[in-house]
Amino acid sequence: MGALLWSLLLLLQEAKGFSGDDEDPEEVVAALQESISLSLEIPSNEEVKDIIWFSQKNLVTVVPGKEGTPAVIIVMDPRYQGRVGISESSYSLHISNLTWEDSGLYQAKVSLNTSQLSITKSYDLRVYRRLSKPHITVNFRISEEGACNISLMCSVERAGMDVTYTWLSPQDSANMSHEDAIISTSWRPGDRALSYICRASNPVSNSSSHLIPVGSFCADPGSPEKPSMSCLLAKGLILLFLLVILAVVLCVFQARKNYEMSRVRKLKRNRIKLRKKGKLGPSLD
């Protein structure tokens, strides 16, 4: 009978859904696979009858215990089994091992015994991934006038939503920043060599790249030309090709040598057989 009453109560609360106060939800951010607590503020002079936590549907029902007994906590949504807990003192909701699907609206409805009123608190939970170290892609072209035009592109693997990219230069005395994933600049031999750092940020983390010296990507016409990456790659392929040819030649030479040695051994065996036959002398008829 008690189980039936509980089921009817929970179905009634689920039918009400997010009805109640129309307050704007509090924005809360958290990191993927980490934890978050959605706190409640209940007046100390109020006696709590029960708390219903909602998400897309009924999530957790909490009935405070009487005379020092622990509260009854019923997890209704199987997606949260083993991942949610309730604070005994404040009845705040604690969610661990957060997933992308945990993002969304949450609401706590607190029913009070003393004032026969209810308190409603809403949250908008957004889950983000902590950012890894940014990757920098460099493109440059030397113009006919000798200027080196450089483009730096900053990216983060599996960055997700709401990522901001900012370029900083330690040599910039004005401490100016450029907010974009791509920054373009130019450099001439003799100019001050600037360096840049890309900083990627989202609501739960930020990460910076290593220092990128712009002048190092352009060869100075007045100094020995630095080998480009494509040139180094071509040289490596040529060396590999020569090593392969050398290996093939050695294999052929060894095979031919083995063949000659086998042939010589065969001739020696035939000569020994002929000598033995000669020692037997003429046959008698």
Q: What's the average pLDDT block by block, 10 residues per block, for the chain (285 residues)?
A: 40 41 81 93 82 88 83 90 88 93 93 80 95 91 80 90 90 70 83 85 94 72 46 78 85 81 74 65 49
Task: Please tell me whether residues 222 and 237 are part of one structural domain.
Answer: no
- The strand pairing partners of 89, in sequence order, are none
**pLDDT in the model for residue 3:** 41
Amino acid in position 279 = K
Q: Same domain, yes or no, for 118 and 203?
A: no
Report DSSP state, residue 78: G
Q: How many residues are given for the chain? A: 285
Q: What is the pLDDT of residues 172-184, one digit of tens each?
A: 655 567 888 998 8
Q: Is position 84 within any domain? A: yes
The tokens describing 56, both together, are 């897309």
Q: Does residue 285 belong to any structural domain of this protein?
A: no
d(CA 85, CA 94): 5
- Domain assignment present for 13: yes
Q: Which two tokens stand for residue 250?
A: 């050695």
DSSP collapsed to 3 states, 180-231: CCEEEEEECCCCCCCEEEEEEEECCEEEECCCEEHHHHCCCCCCCCCCCHHH
pTM of structure = 0.62
Of 226, 250, 269, the last residue of a domain is 226
Both 27 and 123 in one domain: the answer is yes
Domain span holding position 199: 135-226
Which H or E run contains 105?
strand 104-112
Whether residues 6 and 93 share a domain: the answer is: yes
Question: Does residue 249 lie in a domain region?
Answer: yes
Q: Is residue 269 part of a domain?
A: no
Report pLDDT for 237: 83
Q: Are residues 20 and 64 in the same domain?
A: yes
Structural domain contains residue 119: yes
What pLDDT shows up at residue 20? 41
**Neighbouring-strand partners of residue 155:** 135
pLDDT value at residue 201: 95
Q: Looking at the structure, do residues 163 and 210 belong to the same domain, yes or no? A: yes
**Cα–Cα distance measured from residue 238 to residue 77, given in angstroms and rounded to the nearest whole number:** 63
* Separation CA 38–CA 42 (nearest Å): 13
Q: Identify whether 275 is part of a domain.
A: no
Write down which residue in 95, 128, 161 finishes a domain.
128
Domain membership flag for residue 281: no
CA quadruple 86, 87, 89, 92: dihedral positive or negative?
negative
The burial of 202, by beta-carbon neighbours within 10 Å (0-12 exposed, 13-18 middle, 19 or more buried), is given as buried
| Contact present, 58 and 79 (Cβ < 8 Å) | no
Comparing CA positions, the residue from 154, 148, 40, 173 lying closest to residue 94 is: 40
Q: Are 86 and 92 in contact (CB under 8 A)?
A: yes
Whole-angstrom distance, CA of residue 192 vs CA of residue 142: 17
pLDDT at 203: 95
Same domain? For 51 and 82 the reply is yes
Q: Do residues 149 and 31 share a domain? A: no
